Amino acid sequence: MELLEHKLDNGIRLVHKQVPNIIAHCGLIINSGSRDELENEHGVAHFIEHMLFKGTKKRKPFHILSRLEDRGGELNAYTTKEETTIYASFLKEDYNIALELIYDITFNSTFPAKEIKKEKEVINEEINSYKDSPSELIFDDFEELIFPGDPIGRNILGTPRSVNSITKATITEFIARNYNTYEMVVSSVGNISGKRIIALFEKHFSQIPANRGCQNRIKQKKYKADYRIIKKDTWQNHCIIGNIAFDLKNKKRIGMHLLNNILGGQGLNSRLNLSLREKNGFAYNVESNYHPYYDTGLFQIYFGTESENLEKSIQITLKEVKRLRDVKLGNIQLHRAKKQIKGILARAYENHESYMLSMGKSLLVYNRVDPVSVINSKIDSITADNLLEIANEVFCEKEVSTLIYK
């Protein structure tokens, strides 16, 4: 079925796909995240995400949490470096309830002082839980290594000191500056007609005053490779090797996604999983990731291993990376790699919640939502020479940074 798009006078956009399912999904994606924080606001974007559930002009926290839950639905939210998303899954007949609730908590939250105080304790416990999980904490420390002194390099949660300094004024000032109605998208996948979803969208979101905000993301400083070892009292050594990569609008990003999947993506047949885990038994967790951002990107390889296997694991990893730089993929290898990533994409789109979130971000970033056929044609257009060029640009041994927990 064709996608429906609609735009309000205040700039908020709607994208909807009608599907014949009992369960529906919708969400509000806002182009604002932790990288938009000022130095004295560290952690406020994520803090706001929590506070949206803590009371509005007409609802107490219990009523917010129960509104969809009592009907078998679910309301949730998350914060990334560049987005804040509030979304819900629910029975198709509850569209009006879900959209009104998302509107209410986003635009009518009151941020009560007692709830701010309580939530500081909750988030400090969340920060402490990360400290007990080195396999997660190392990713935050690696981004700080790659982007030192830059908002995009700071962790999303904040620090106990920065979180404890947040006030209602901090929250309202951040929202006023960053919650730009022209940078908001309501995304929906469910069994509701285009006419009905537009009516509900206009009913709940057209009353919001237009706000263009004054968001000004700082361009990245010049990257410099680094190598760092941090002493940790852990059973395993943990290691990340990586580099800056392509931004969200760079045409090479699709090839980068393909290379990442070959090297250490979801499949158990990734080169790193076969060499580190299956062949040598050096690692249980091994993966690579590529995260494109507004004006930069990040590629990283992670594994955890026993201390006696650390250097051998690093050498095997660098050998696999070098192989992608030096040896062009053959026709059969390239065909298999393309087929695999197309299958992964198709499976992701079969998850309608995932597809709803993907549609919203695509409209937010690219002002369009490409159908799977268009994305597949872009994948098909990638050549072995393209991948070799990308590998030599991103995997250059002199340019990669390394962080080790010992």
Residues 344 and 238 in one domain: yes
Is residue 4's pLDDT more than 70? yes
170 and 108 belong to one structural domain:
yes
* CATH code at position 22: 3.30.830.10
Mean pLDDT of 10-17: 98
Is 218 a domain residue?
A: no
Same domain (yes/no): 245, 190: no
pLDDT tens-digit series, residues 274-323: 999 999 999 999 999 999 999 999 999 999 999 999 999 999 999 999 99
Q: Is the pLDDT of residue 100 over 80?
A: yes
Residue 107 falls within a domain, yes or no?
yes
In a domain, 215, yes or no: no
| Same domain membership, residue 101 and residue 243 | no
pTM: 0.94
Give the contacts of 379 (CB within 8 A, at least 6 positions apart): 254, 258, 338, 341, 342
Between helix 384-394 and helix 310-326 the angle, nearest 10°, is: 140
- pLDDT computed for residue 351 by the predictor: 96
Q: What is the pLDDT of residues 343-372, one digit of tens each?
A: 999 999 999 999 999 999 999 999 999 999
Of 21, 47, 43, residue with least CA distance to 34: 43
Among residues 172, 205, 238, the one where a domain terminates is 205
Domain shared by 110 and 22, yes or no:
yes
Q: Evaluate if residue 212 carries a pLDDT over 90.
A: no
Q: Is 213 a member of any domain?
A: no
- How many domains does the structure of the chain reveal? 2
Q: How far is CA 303 from CA 31, 140, 238, 283, 404, in A?
A: 32, 15, 6, 7, 10
pLDDT tens column, 321-335: 999 999 999 999 999
Question: Is residue 216's pLDDT more than 90?
Answer: no
Are 23 and 157 found together in one domain? yes
Q: Within this chain, do residues 28 and 93 fall inside the same structural domain, yes or no?
A: yes
Sign of CA dihedral 23, 28, 33, 37: negative
Structural domain ending residue among the three candidates 144, 171, 205: 205
Q: Is residue 212 part of a domain?
A: no
Let me know whether 190 and 275 are in one domain.
no
Is 43 in the same domain as 176?
yes
Asked if residues 180 and 211 have their Cβ atoms less than 8 Å apart, the reply is yes
Tell me, yes or no, whether 66 lies in a domain.
Answer: yes
Q: What is the pLDDT of residue 221?
A: 74
Between the CA atoms of 60, 65, 71 and 77, what dihedral angle is there, to the nearest 10 degrees? Answer: 130
Is 219 a domain residue?
no
Kindly state whether residue 221 falls inside one of the protein's structural domains.
no
Secondary structure element (H or E) that encloses residue 88, with its range:
strand 84-91
User: What is the extent of the structural domain holding 145?
Assistant: 4-205
Closest CA to 221 of 121, 123, 312, 295: 295
Amino acid letter for position 3:
L
Identify the pLDDT of residue 220. 66
**Is residue 191 located within the same domain as residue 336?**
no
Domain stop point among 146, 174, 205: 205
* Whether residue 244 is found in the same domain as residue 185: no
37 has pLDDT over 90: yes
